[in-house]
Amino acid sequence: MSGILTPDSGKCQVNGLTPWEHRRRHVQSIGVVFGQRSQLWWDVPVADSFLLLRDIYRLDNATYRQSLEELTSLLQLEELLQTPARQLSLGQRMRCEIAASLLHRPEILFLDEPTIGLDAVSKIAVREYIKRINKERGTTVILTTHDMQDIEALTERIIFIGKGRILQDGSLSDLKKYCSPWKTLTVEYSGGDLAFDSENAFLPGLALQSAVPGRAVFSVDTKTLSVSQAVSALSQKVEITDLTVTGASAEEMVAALYKEYQV
């Protein structure tokens, strides 16, 4: 879709153009960030790379300066602009890369694994920036990622691709159907003992996973028993001091999807 590769077969239209046939016209209106490669010139300050991009995309000075100001404040680049790219940390570089790809105000932004290798703080920050860019500039963002938290934080529509075909096209909640119905309930309690035998005659749909005095972990089959029913039943037996409910992790959901389609 970015026009870099030519496919063996099939059709694709972006903004009315076929990307690989009209590459130079097409790329004028898209921005691309590859998480694992850098588009900034290595040995010159970031600001110089930006100036070169201004010339490459033929922006007039006023547009360029306005765009640069917006992006500098949005991504907090004030201190980074005069640093050569090779001296930036990965998180700092990623912010500069995103800015570089947006200088020419593209309508579409392609992000290929933008949070890969980033520390937790930078990941959250980058996600925030992407959301704001989408909201404030109305940029369409097409994200490729294996990071489930990226997906949960950013996406409205998910297209699941495998072996050259579209396998699923829907929202995150559609995909969550593939979640297993089991929820894990971790209970810390006092005034009783929940460590009864794992054959579980207590309540169908509630199975004890592990127990030490004062703390028990249960799985709840939400098809038979709702979480609130389980909690109220347990609270009638003991006094609950702390309670955690977790669903199947997003990774498990994706693994289930992969398995279903044998991808």
Partner 1 sequence: MKAYAAYFRIRFTAGLQYRAAALAGVVTQFAWGFLSILLFAAFYRTDPASFPMGFSQLASYLWLRQAFLALFASWIFDGEIFSLIQSGSLAYELVRPLDVYAFWYVKNLALRLSRAVLRSFPILTVAALLPAPYGLSLPAGWDSFGLFLSSAVLSFLLVTAYCMLIYIATVYTLSPLGVRMVAVAVTDLLTGGIIPLPFFPDNVLAVLRFTPFAAMQDLPFRLYSGHVAAGEAAPALALQAFWLMALVVLGRAWLNRGLRKATIQGG
Binding site for partner 1 (CB under 8 A): 2-6, 20, 23-25, 27-28, 30, 32, 34, 36-39, 41, 43-44, 48, 51-52, 55-58, 113
DSSP-assigned letter for residue 7: -
* Distance between CA atoms of residues 108 and 72, nearest Å: 20
Q: Which is nearer to partner 1, 5 or 201 (CB)?
A: 5
* Distance between CA atoms of residues 145 and 73, nearest Å: 26
Q: Which is nearer to partner 1, 113 or 128 (CB)?
A: 113
Q: Are 246 and 144 in contact (CB under 8 A)?
A: no
Q: Which is nearer to partner 1, 20 or 182 (CB)?
A: 20
DSSP-assigned letter for residue 12: -
Q: What minimum distance in Å lies between the beta carbon of 153 and partner 1?
A: 22
Q: What minimum distance in Å lies between the beta carbon of 130 and partner 1?
A: 18
Q: What minimum distance in Å lies between the beta carbon of 88 and partner 1?
A: 17
Q: Which is nearer to partner 1, 24 or 223 (CB)?
A: 24
3-state secondary structure of 44: coil
3-state secondary structure of 13: coil
* Distance between CA atoms of residues 176 and 86, nearest Å: 41
DSSP-assigned letter for residue 84: B
Q: Which is nearer to partner 1, 55 or 242 (CB)?
A: 55
Q: Which is nearer to partner 1, 23 or 105 (CB)?
A: 23
Q: What minimum distance in Å lies between the beta carbon of 115 and partner 1?
A: 15
Chain Cα centroid distance, residue 21 = 31
Q: Are 51 and 65 in contact (CB under 8 A)?
A: no
Report CA-CA distances (Å) from 90 to 45, 94, 116, 119, 165: 15, 6, 10, 9, 33
Q: What minimum distance in Å lies between the beta carbon of 39 and partner 1?
A: 5
Q: Please, which contacts does 7-16 make with residues 24 or more away whose CB atoms are closer than 8 Å?
A: 14/108, 15/107, 15/108
Q: What minimum distance in Å lies between the beta carbon of 35 and partner 1?
A: 9
Q: Which is nearer to partner 1, 39 or 186 (CB)?
A: 39
Q: What minimum distance in Å lies between the beta carbon of 6 and partner 1?
A: 5
